[in-house]
A and B are shown apart, each in its own frame.
Chain A
């Protein structure tokens, strides 16, 4: 469904991605793990069209989207739930969800999806008129996920959805992501919490300073001695 070939991305003189390739098949959950600064967010931002590609290709459903605008890419069915949640802090919960379906104009479908999201996240339903900036971190993450779902994506990109959340909330977030995937949406997830991500996913990639160091099933990466040593804390399994 998504294929990246030899993608190169630069920020000025810094080359953040040095020709990476990856594939996401329909219905899969794919994890992209790696240390801070490895280029994980840059990969997702390049897919969404926020960062221009200096080389290589990004294909979605066989179509070249390497140079498409963020709006076109979203329109094709790729939603992006960004790092740090990035809810619109001065808008209400409901307005944030409306932003998620900015490109849609099917009023009835939107209303149904909004109702569905409120059903899934009762805490958001109670706070629908509340200003998003006043929500807790966990609630903001739920809102960011709901907002991304409002575009009815085929593929959803999650950038560190567990970042800065309390352990019980992290668990909830991962459950929600699994529900989304079970309902048929393909998932590409970036996580620093490598163990959880590798356990959940069908296939995983390990990014090290802009190059793809390793790929394989989640289980294979968990058992890999290098991954175990460098990313899973080295000790016995968690």
Chain B
């Protein structure tokens, strides 16, 4: 029982960042119909920016997170403008290949820039854990959960309360009619890709200090993001949010009760099971952004 509580607490903490990762990917797919294989590289970018600003420049931890998010926004916008905008009318297979190419290039650039040795980012918080009854939690992980939840809330507010969010929802539902309403579809696409990418970078910045930073960390992040998005139903933000927490719980329980080697396999298993039994995702009744 005590062990279960500890697992649940761990899962809850990971779930927040997984949800961020999934929301970013599902936004991009839902609105642009682009299968974004660079998502994990944006996650790695966030972690490296964190390392660069907090460790190498020695600046404030929170400032580093903000910088990582900003870097994700900029790189996302550039990928959209340079690679995707010229291919706006291309079919989904073409953009998929393009994104696979970009994924490989980005990963190699990371290896060249930072080397293949893992980097670690020290936590600015006290290292002795917070103990509540049988559950022990590190302060850093609690901070990660808090920031992830704040970013999720901010994303929901952006989509449901702002004019840009309304334009994104309209474009998601019917891009031609959205254009007739005066929505600048090109701008919505760039902003969507930038926003989705910045969420991936945020997830990387939050988890970088929890684990270590390596050039290939993005591969697993991409896989997990796809698992979350498939679980939640393509294009569903609430589905991706719940999907992120479900993946975290399944991983944690798989690692705790089957074997710790199964942790990262759980994502694959989920993808296979969902595609076999519920290809529209667990919650897909109506696809709805927001």
Residue pair A99, B179 in contact (C-beta under 8 Å): no
Tell me if B180 is interfacial: C-beta within 8 Å of chain A: yes
Q: Which residues of B contact A102 (CB under 8 A)?
A: 163, 166-167, 181-183
Tell me if B173 is interfacial: C-beta within 8 Å of chain A: yes
With A91-B170, A95-B166 known as contacts, the answer to whether A86 contacts B184 (CB < 8 A) is no
In the bound assembly, the distance between CA atoms of A99 and B177 in angstroms comes to 10
Contact residues, B177-196 vs A (CB, 8 A): 177-184
Overall SS of chain A's interface: loop
Residue pair B176, A50 in contact (C-beta under 8 Å): yes
Residue pair A90, B180 in contact (C-beta under 8 Å): no
In the bound assembly, the distance between CA atoms of A87 and B184 in angstroms comes to 18
| Contact for A91 among B169, B180, B183, CB less than 8 A | B169
How many A-B residue pairs have C-beta atoms within 8 angstroms? Tell me.
57
| Contact for B173 among A69, A91, A98, CB less than 8 A | A91
A87 closest partner in B (C-beta): B177
Q: How far is the CB of A134 from chain B (nearest CB, A)?
A: 11
Residue pair A90, B179 in contact (C-beta under 8 Å): no
Tell me if A80 is interfacial: C-beta within 8 Å of chain B: yes
Q: Which residues of B contact A90 (CB under 8 A)?
A: 169, 173, 286, 288-289
Contact residues, A145-198 vs B (CB, 8 A): 147, 151
Overall SS of chain B's interface: helix
B172 closest partner in A (C-beta): A90
Q: How large is the interface on A (under 10, 10 to 19, 20 to 34, 35 or more residues)?
A: 20 to 34
Tell me if A71 is interfacial: C-beta within 8 Å of chain B: yes
Tell me if A88 is interfacial: C-beta within 8 Å of chain B: yes
| Contact for A100 among B173, B176, B181, B286, CB less than 8 A | B181
Residue pair A98, B180 in contact (C-beta under 8 Å): no
Q: Which residues of A contact B289 (CB under 8 A)?
A: 90
In the bound assembly, the distance between CA atoms of A75 and B179 in angstroms comes to 12
In the bound assembly, the distance between CA atoms of A88 and B177 in angstroms comes to 8
Residue pair B179, A88 in contact (C-beta under 8 Å): no
With A50-B176, A82-B177 known as contacts, the answer to whether A88 contacts B182 (CB < 8 A) is no
Contact residues, A57-92 vs B (CB, 8 A): 69-71, 74-75, 79-80, 82, 86, 88-91
Tell me if A43 is interfacial: C-beta within 8 Å of chain B: no
Q: Which residues of A contact B173 (CB under 8 A)?
A: 88-91
A70 closest partner in B (C-beta): B179
A90 closest partner in B (C-beta): B288
In the bound assembly, the distance between CA atoms of A82 and B175 in angstroms comes to 13
Tell me if A103 is interfacial: C-beta within 8 Å of chain B: yes
Tell me if A48 is interfacial: C-beta within 8 Å of chain B: yes
Q: Which residues of B contact A91 (CB under 8 A)?
A: 169-170, 173
Residue pair B286, A82 in contact (C-beta under 8 Å): no
Tell me if B174 is interfacial: C-beta within 8 Å of chain A: yes
Q: How far is the CB of B126 from chain A (nearest CB, A)?
A: 46
- Could you list 24 A-B pairs, sorted by A, with CB under 8 Å? A49-B179, A69-B184, A70-B179, A71-B179, A71-B182, A71-B183, A74-B180, A75-B182, A86-B176, A86-B177, A88-B169, A88-B170, A88-B173, A88-B174, A89-B173, A90-B288, A91-B169, A91-B170, A98-B166, A102-B163, A102-B181, A102-B182, A102-B183, A151-B182
Apart from A88-B174, A102-B167, A102-B182, what are 11 other A-B pairs with CB-CB below 8 Å? A50-B179, A50-B180, A71-B183, A82-B176, A90-B173, A91-B170, A98-B166, A99-B178, A102-B166, A103-B182, A151-B181
